[in-house]
Amino acid sequence: MNTSNRYNRQIILPEIGDEGQYKLLKSKVLVVGAGGLGAAILPYLASAGVGEIGIVDDDTIEISNLHRQVIYKTSAVGKSKAEEAKLMISQLNSEVKVNAVSEKLSAKNAISLFEKYDIIVDATDNIAVKYLINDACLVVNKPMVYGSIFRFQGQVSVFNYQNGPTYRCLYPDENNNALNCEDAGVIGISVGIIGLLQANEVLKMILGIGEVLNGKILVYNILNNEQQKYGFDKSDILSISRESFEEKYNKSEVAEISFDSVLEEINNDSVLFVDVRNSDELPKISLKNQVQIPLMLLENEIEKIDKNQMIYVFCQSGIRSKMAVEVLQKHQFKNVKSIAGGVLAMKNLLKEEIKV
């Protein structure tokens, strides 16, 4: 095959060669999330010569993203992450076809998107979306390259590869209390390392070299540079049909409301604000009608909440509050909504009420 001088240094590797480079050229990889992990994954896939890359992210760039999402410039703040990532790749390697999808991944578009690609990379920090990615990958039988960050530690694995275990085999409980990076904090180096390890798994699968993290999870600690691999088995849930996927995800979505829409109700006695953050999380919020019940304790302390009140649930960023709404709905709460964006969206409107 004819190749540009761009790939000479990797083509001379006997494990790659012209044949391997051709495999890369013909491959199609979808990266869900163009944040910290995606910012590490995307340039290396493009530089290696992956022929077609899709990017799914409905978010825009914020100044607080830049310390870890290093492909974006300060001048790009306010712009679409997917479109800016596409621009970066086109400038890095114009031989790569890039598809930017500035939409939120959902049950409505996941299947149709995933069907177009060979490998799906999870570069999100949202637990619910990880389950959605896993289930959609099972429906269309595509491998999922997983990465996650918790403070100074990260995890990498590959799910649904060659009939191997899935994300649900490792984490069967959807109602966990995991924090995302906005809640728990993150240093840019962490996402860089884990993102590169994810990109490495993608390239190994495409090229058919090395040992893929199939049925294994790699845990990396950046504070001591130690890493461990743990094996895990496939559960009895072997597949998810398109019908069961649609049945599971076509239920009504959690109702959200912006905090500025409920400002007038702060002093309304028929309204209750439920803070599902842990007690040590900052900043502290002090509202007239408020209770604090950490998400992990919600079901055990649900009697503290009056079903007759209008309930607005909040957390640090709006992720755990949506999980809490689902828990409350399961217990027959009807008038309950999640405050979109959580405390991060509330604090600018509540300067006088917040105690830091």
| Pure H helices in the chain | 8-11, 17-26, 36-48, 81-92, 110-114, 127-140, 167-170, 181-184, 188-207, 242-249, 320-330, 342-346
Domains 7-250 and 256-353 share a fold: no
The residue extents of the domains of the chain are 7-250, 256-353
The 3-state DSSP class for residue 311 equals: strand
Residue 10 CB-half CA count within 13 A:
18
The 3-state DSSP class for residue 96 equals: coil
* Chain segment 152-180, per-residue pLDDT in tens: 999 999 999 999 999 999 988 765 555 55
Q: At 257, give phi and psi (nearest 5°).
A: -145, 145
pLDDT-above-70 percentage for the chain: 92
pLDDT confidence of residue 354: 43
In CATH, the number for domain 256-353 is: 3.40.250.10
Q: Low-confidence residues of the chain, pLDDT below 50?
A: 1, 352-356
CA distance 15 to 210: 9
CA distance 315 to 200: 34
pTM of the model: 0.76
Sign of CA dihedral 107, 112, 115, 116: negative
CA distance 37 to 146: 10
Per-residue HEC secondary structure of 101-116 comes to ECCCCCCCCHHHHHCC
pLDDT confidence of residue 43: 98
* Chain segment 219-243, per-residue pLDDT in tens: 999 999 999 999 999 987 667 888 8
Say which residues have a Cβ less than 8 Å from residue 286's Cβ, sequence separation at least 6: 353, 354, 355
pLDDT confidence of residue 93: 97
Give the class (CATH, top level) of 7-250.
Answer: alpha beta
